[in-house]
Amino acid sequence: MVSFSVAIIDTMSLYDLYLDVRNDPGYPFCNLFLFLHSEFPDGRVTSDTIECLLASPDGKWLGSGVGSIRTSRFLFQKGIRFRDPGTYRFVFEQAMRVHDLQGIRDFGIRIDKIPSH
């Protein structure tokens, strides 16, 4: 499990949330399933499943990068508004059928504020 804590002050803006995944050719699957547990400042917890497609059906790695390491970005929540100010915690748990994943180098989240018009 990997978790990220983010302090949110602006509750009026909309945000897009992304997951960045870096993998090498040793990853034996074309996709990556993750469980996402979102913890809100008021103590609520929601859970969701995310599928990240890392390779095409013919086995070609997707994403960008130089050399054998590929970086892929996945939008997992679009145009959301954080309802309450405070600390939000995002906990990611791998949901593949094997315990020890080889070839996943790292991953992180990116939260982009959508510019208002």
The structural architecture, per CATH, of the domain 2-113 is Sandwich (2.60)
* CB contact at 8 A, 19 and 32: no
- Which pLDDT tens digit goes with each residue over 72-94? 999 999 999 999 999 999 999 99
Neighbours of 95 (CB within 10 A): 13
Query: Is residue 67 very low, low, confident or very high in pLDDT (cuts 50, 70, 90)?
Result: confident
Where do the domains of the chain lie? Answer: 2-113
Query: Is residue 20 very low, low, confident or very high in pLDDT (cuts 50, 70, 90)?
Result: very high
Q: How far apart are CA 33 and CA 51, in angstroms?
A: 5
State the pTM of this model.
Answer: 0.89
Handedness of CA 47, 86, 73, 68 (dihedral sign): negative
